Each structure stands twice: as C-alpha cells, then as structure tokens.
Amino acid sequence: MNRHYIENDEDALKIGPLTLSSRLILGTGGAPSHRVISETITASGAEMVTVAIRRFDPTLRDGSIFEELAKLSVHVLPNTAGCFGARDAVLTAELGREALQTDLVKVEVISDQDTLLPDPLELARATEELVKRGFYVFAYTNDDPALASHLANLGATAVMPLGSPIGSGLGILNPHNIELIAERIECPVVLDAGIGCASDAAFAMELGCDAVLAASAITRAKVPKSMARSISMAVRAGRLSYLSGRIPRRRLAQASTTDEGKPFT
C-alpha cells in the first residue's frame, strides 16, 4: 500500500495506542462494493478505516468487508452506527470488541433518523461507561465546544465533531466552533461528517483539526478512487498550511513591496 509522504516524521498522528502516517480516516458507508473500498484505501494511503459493527456477520468465512480490510493491513475502527441510546452503544461496542479483538470504538449515539445528529446526553453516558471499561473511545459529537471539552474530560481518546450532518456534503457549516474545539481540546480532534470534496478536508485541517474522516464524499463520488486520492492530498496540504501559519486577515490592502528605493519623479 502506498503511504503518505510525511514532511516530518515527528508530525505523525498519535491517537490512542496508534501512530499513523496518514491523517485521513476512511468510512465504508455507502460503498457500492468491497472492490471500491479496497481501491479507495489503496489510493488514499489511509491506515484506519471505520466500519459499523452491525455489518459483522460471523457466519461469513470469506468475502466479508473485514476479510478485505485484513488483506490491506489497515486498523479497523468499529463504530456503533444505528444506536439511539447509551445502553445500545455500550452493548454494540462490547460485541465489536469480542468479534474483532480490539479496544478501539467510534461511539455514535444518534438522536433521530432525520438529522442523524448526536444525542449529547446519551453520548456522554456512553463515553463515560466505555472509558471505564477500557475502551479507546472516538466520540462522534456535535460542533459544540462545551460538549467536546466535556467528552475529552470524560477520557475520550479522540473527539470527532461534525462539520455538517452525515452524508450531506455541506462542508463545515460552523468553522468558528470547529476552530474553538481544535484550540481547546488536548486530545486529537477529527472532523467527522459533512465533507463533500477535497477543499472541505483542507479547510478542516487549516482550522487545526488533527485528522479528517471521510466516507460518503468518497464512496458516493462519481469516481471514488480519484476522490480518495484528492481528499488525501487535501488533508496533507491543509495540515502543512496550518503548521506554516497563515497571515492575519486585514480589512485593507497591505503592499507586499515597500516604497524604499522608489525613484523620485
């Protein structure tokens, strides 16, 4: 598998027990086939992929999504997609731990089917309980700095604020809040949900996010493999831009060339 070129080895993403070269995490939801998932992973160089626990079928010996991911040697981040309460999320996480032999879990606790927005109270309860049980919790949350801080204080391994609703492709609707979260939270911040194209991913990284998770933007693109590559490059570019330090915004122009040396007329 092609890996990302890193400008500096010390800039690798340290998240929970893992150290990753790539700051792009892939989601598998919406992919038309296992082949597309495999192609997009290879094209992007992603080293972590999230998959819904409910897609695990222990009766399948060959041909499952988990078999495909094992061949690619990527880290699987099981998620609790489809859960509407803390109790269901905790049970699903435990099933994932037993089935996949991993303590990693992306916790999703959804409030309703129409918006697919996180339920803050149930999410906090699930995060607290799973941390107590020894899980590395990646908490999918709203773009609320106060809630993000609370989840981090509960022991979340990573906080994953949404840019906009799942699958909407609307990009980052509240960049101010995402920037605040990135500034305030000590654990890794992963922009999750709402990415529509490469520029959205670059923007998230420029706001200070540590990584980006992209699913529908890639799996439902006209050419998933190419979109995976472009978003991967955008994540790298956005990270380098953030580390380089942008110039301050100004209301008026500021000449890049001074009047010094200007001939007298």
Contact 163, 178 (CB under 8 A): yes
Any idea which residues carry the catalytic annotation? 106
- Residues in binding site for 1-deoxy-D-xylulose 5-phosphate: 167, 193-194, 215-216
Read off the pLDDT of residues 109-121 as tens digits, 9 standing for 90 and up: 999 888 889 999 9
Please tell me the distance from the alpha carbon of residue 223 to that of residue 237, in angstroms, as a whole number: 21
Residues of the chain with pLDDT under 70: 1-10, 55-63, 258-259, 261-265
Return the pLDDT at 131: 97
Largest CA distance in the chain: 87
Return the pLDDT at 261: 65
Contact 93, 80 (CB under 8 A): yes
Tell me if residue 144 falls in helix, strand or coil.
coil
Which residues 6+ apart lie within 8 Å of 9 measured at CB? Answer: none
Please tell me the distance from the alpha carbon of residue 210 to that of residue 174, in angstroms, as a whole number: 17
Return the pLDDT at 2: 39
Contact 77, 51 (CB under 8 A): yes
Read off the pLDDT of residues 157-197 as tens digits, 9 standing for 90 and up: 999 999 999 888 999 999 999 999 999 999 999 999 999 99
Return the pLDDT at 34: 86
Vertex 147: Cα angle to 143 and 150 (nearest 5): 145
Tokens representing 142 are 């709203």
- Residues in binding site: 167, 193-194, 215-216
Q: What's the CATH architecture for 13-244?
A: Alpha-Beta Barrel (3.20)
User: Could you tell me the end-to-end alpha-carbon distance of the chain, in angstroms, rounded to an integer?
Assistant: 63
